[in-house]
Amino acid sequence: MSASILQTTPTLETFSQRFEHECIVGSEIDSCLYSAAIEIVEDTGYFEPNEFLGQKVSRQWQTHKPHNYRALAVFLNEDDDPWQAKPEHPRVNHKTGKEQKYESIKGRGARAFTPPVTVGIYRKITERNSIAQEDLWLKLLVEAARQNELDTLLQKWSGSGASQLTIERGAIAGMGFSSSSSKNFIQNQALEKLQKLLQPNTQELHSLQQGNPTQEVLAALCCFVANLPSRTRVPNFWKWLEQRVDIPLILTEGGKKSLCLLSQGYVAIALYGARGGVVENEVIGGEKVRKLKPELIHDLQRFAVPKRSITIALDQDDRIKTIAILNQL
């Protein structure tokens, strides 16, 4: 066989490199989304992964040595709170005799994976659902106007990747901006125009507070949003999703699956397992008892509302026990 047609896998020396390759190449996760949602925690000899997971590390660890995970690939929620971690060196579950491929944070209970979403992914989601790209930012602008917090919001926006904006010719047509202007200058112009238009006691501010922005305000906002770098993190994406009941939601098992679906423009939330979205037990008098009526975990309650389409997407499994669990959903 000719060497020219041989396909070789690059040598990946570190766990970080291997896991990134596994996600981006193997699971087709968007590279910018991966960077936003995954953090690597390495053991430098002080058992940082163990402490990160909430495990107690004894001061006499020389004689009671904890498990050495070597490194963790941590799945982060939008608020940077860790959801789950994949260890480089998994421990063995003594009950099943199998490796514990994933670890959750001790004491956190059942949680859903709601990762940070980048502008590039947000654009795919809005396009798939026929929603204007500026919709999320417009809702933030309206809310800030009603609460007299416009200056604070626009100041935050002034740091939204201003030095990395990508400006396309025609994106700023009709606003009096030059397509040859510097990237920083163009974004600053858009924000300055918003500030000028939305001065106290102006018709533009009043209209915005009513949820009906003028064409000039909308044009400046669209210019700002259209030129944000793809890797910029979207502010409060999941809060915005609460309000958009017209966007379908997919529930799945495993962080990589949800990141893969998000990379294609589908809104997906991952759970620890098939029944990871419900609370089935409660503590009464210091004892754990089964609830008479299971309820959704808090992370899902805000999305499970009338008129929202929710799809449960899980791996097909032939095991009788797993089928029985799924039939109860």
Confidence of residue 59 (pLDDT cuts 50, 70, 90): low
Pick from 118-132, 147-161, 199-213, 235-249: least confident: 147-161
Mean predicted confidence (pLDDT) in 277-296: 69
In the chain, domain spans: 13-104, 119-226, 238-327
> Tokens in use for 90?
């998994």
Residue pair 274/253 in contact by the 8 Å Cβ criterion: yes
The residue assigned the tokens 């501010």 is 205
Q: How many residues can be counted in the chain?
A: 329
Mean predicted confidence (pLDDT) in 61-67: 74
Q: Which of the two residues, 127 and 156, has the higher pLDDT score?
A: 127
Neighbouring C-alpha atoms within 13 Å toward the C-beta of 158: 14
The closest of 55, 42, 44, 39 to 100, measured between CA atoms, is: 55
Confidence of residue 160 (pLDDT cuts 50, 70, 90): low
Instruction: Give the per-residue pLDDT at 308.
Output: 96
Pick from 69-73, 90-94, 279-283, 290-294: least confident: 279-283
Pick from 114-123, 227-236, 278-287: least confident: 278-287
E-state strands within the chain: 38-42, 71-76, 82-87, 103-104, 249-253, 268-271, 278-284, 287-296, 310-313
Name the residue type at position 240.
Answer: W
Tell me the whole-structure pTM to 2 decimals: 0.84
Residue pair 124/191 in contact by the 8 Å Cβ criterion: no
At residue 36, does pLDDT exceed 60?
A: yes
Confidence of residue 319 (pLDDT cuts 50, 70, 90): low
Alpha-carbon distance values, 181 to 165, 168, 172, 247, 272 (Å): 12, 11, 11, 37, 49
